[in-house]
Amino acid sequence: MNDEEKYIARTERMLTRWSGQRLPVTRKQTTEGDVMRHTPPAVGELDVESGQYLEPARPLPILASCDVLVVGAGPAGLSAALAAKRAGADTIILERFGCFGGVITTVGMETLAWYRYEGTVEGEGIGIEMERIAAQMGGSIKWPYNDSQCLDADFFKVVADRLITEAGVRPILHCMAVDVIFEEGSNRLKGIITESKSGRQVVLAKRIIDCTGDADIAHLAGASYRKTPKDKMLGVTTVFNASGVDKQKFLQYTEDQPATYADWSRTWDQETTGKEDALRSPYLDKEFDTARELGVIPAHTTNLGGSWSALTEAGEATNLNLAHLSGFDCTDVMDLTKAEMQGRQEALYALMALKKVVPGFENAKLRNFGMTLGTRDSRKIIGRYNLSSEDVRNQAKFEDSVGIFPEFIDGYNVLILPTTGRYFEVPYGCMVPLEVDNLLVAGRCVAGDMVSHAAMRNMMACTVTGQGAGVAAAVSLQQGQSTAEVDLRAIQAELERQGVRLH
Ligand SMILES: Cc1cc2nc3c(=O)[nH]c(=O)nc-3n(C[C@H](O)[C@H](O)[C@H](O)COP(=O)(O)OP(=O)(O)OC[C@H]3O[C@@H](n4cnc5c(N)ncnc54)[C@H](O)[C@@H]3O)c2cc1C
């Protein structure tokens, strides 16, 4: 057999093994390709004094057009895209990274529903569906202290690929939304401007759903928003995964030294309802005090402390959420730069401490950091309705409910777990920006105060607003109404058809 024949035989064997079917293989002719040259932009005006560059105008190619454009593919974006498509709209999902899943896949946060201790009442809908399908595909592990699932962050990329493909949503990856296009003389958006390896391009859409986490589109479109003052913003974290962990030895340690939610108060000056305090929590913090006392890590690492989650038979401890850095605004590129670099350093200090102090971690090594730093807090839009602390603590009910979320609050020193079956309704109004007509905002940047954000930022809550916004965008289009005036009964009817619990 010559080289050519060997290549074809090898490829055929590979295809047969992977796809279960034999496909014809043709050897590609090698070519150096044509010589190409891009037309560089004209020269603009540089004003060093004001620190600005006036970019010259130039034509941009249209990459795609659709009914509903979902920008950002985290828990909110995935849910919005699937819901809009299932409600009959031609839908594009556009994401700046190379995978869907947002914080799940890019940060490595696997605990989609860890709040689900006894008594939790769930909303049903796409969030629960994602958790169930990941489990069916073998892409999750039971969370240590209840029956919720830790998603395998990398595997979830494939789960999301499958959901998007099977639904017929049109995907665009590696593409960042950088600006918006308005319809002349109106407050309606016509589309967005994107940047990618293909350059600056345009995506046109009749409805846009901002699921960027940071409300990028709302911000670019001139909608009003709030940002928590930097010194009070929830911290950022570089999540990491370790290999070489002796699972049984570590689990024995956690039985011998059981941690509870009362232990969280050592790191955060925290308010609970009392019923949370005695529940077991996969939590580590005093281990870092010991490591500091032993001189294993420097004295300034007082920000270490947090949770572990999945342990595999292969000796991996994933989703190590142990280093919290504060004082960073993740809509500022220089803050992001600093936080990324400092976050990696802190995560390594955490690992050094675990290796020295925690049984089972002696031979552990860094498997990987999350693809990106994890942001908990940035812009929150001013909406037609702004959710409040009272709403999420007191089982609020809304006529325009798009779903329910259990009474789970985690942030700004409040921890309430939904162990008594309490839940609140999520109003459509918190996704409707005041100034832009055909734009909805879903996910962690919906309208509300700090404590309501501590509920709505949770991934399952983001899937509730995502699904609500997806359906609303599709319905408003079918009915020829704006997203502000759309018939709420029609939205709720479609959400119920999709299996969502509204009240
Ligand atoms: C370290 C950490 C730990 C957490 N732990 C938990 C937990 O245990 N349980 C829980 O429920 N929640 C947890 N959260 C909160 C939760 O993960 C997030 O609030 C949630 O993922 C937000 O979902 P989202 O869809 O709104 O945004 P994201 O998940 O942030 O997704 C936004 C997506 O939009 C993309 N994007 C952003 N800007 C653009 C743009 N301009 N153009 C194109 N794409 C863009 C991003 O790349 C990303 O994929 C945690 C968060 C962090 C950071």
Claim to verify: residue 104 and residue 211 sit in the same structural domain = yes
- 321 Cβ below 6 A of ligand 1: yes
In a domain, 8, yes or no: no
Q: Give the pLDDT confidence score for residue 32 in this predicted structure.
A: 86
- 136-160 confidence digits (pLDDT tens): 999 999 999 998 999 999 999 999 9
CA dihedral (389, 393, 397, 402) positive or negative: positive
Res 381 pLDDT > 80: yes
Res. 12 pLDDT band, cuts 50 70 90: low
Q: Please list the alpha-helical segments (H only) found in 224-330.
A: 247-256, 286-293
Residue-by-residue DSSP string for 112-176? TTTT--TTPPP--SHHHHHHHHHHHTT-EEE-TTSS-EEE-HHHHHHHHHHHHHHHTPEEE-SEE
170 Cα: distance to centroid of ligand 1 (angstroms): 21
Claim to verify: residue 357 and residue 320 sit in the same structural domain = yes
- 238-269 confidence digits (pLDDT tens): 999 999 999 999 999 999 999 999 998 887 78
- Residue 84 phi, psi (nearest 5): -65, -45
Report if pTM > 0.85: yes
By residue range, what is the domain housing residue 338? Answer: 231-369
Mutate to test the pocket of ligand 1, among 220, 303, 309, 459 (most ligand atoms within 8 A of CB): 459
Q: Which of 335, 369, 403 is the last residue of a domain?
A: 369
- Using the atom order of ligand 1, give the atom closest to the CA of residue 443: 26
- 399-421 confidence digits (pLDDT tens): 999 999 999 999 999 999 999 99
The CA-based diameter of the chain, rounded to the nearest angstrom, is 76
Q: Give the pLDDT confidence score for residue 45 in this predicted structure.
A: 96
In a domain, 190, yes or no: yes
Claim to verify: residue 223 and residue 94 sit in the same structural domain = yes
Of 27-31, 36-40, 344-348, 465-469, the one with minimum mean pLDDT is 27-31
Q: Which of 350, 369, 388 is the last residue of a domain?
A: 369
Claim to verify: residue 197 and residue 209 sit in the same structural domain = yes
The predicted model gives 433-461 an average pLDDT of 97
User: What is the CATH classification number for the domain harbouring 76?
Assistant: 3.50.50.60
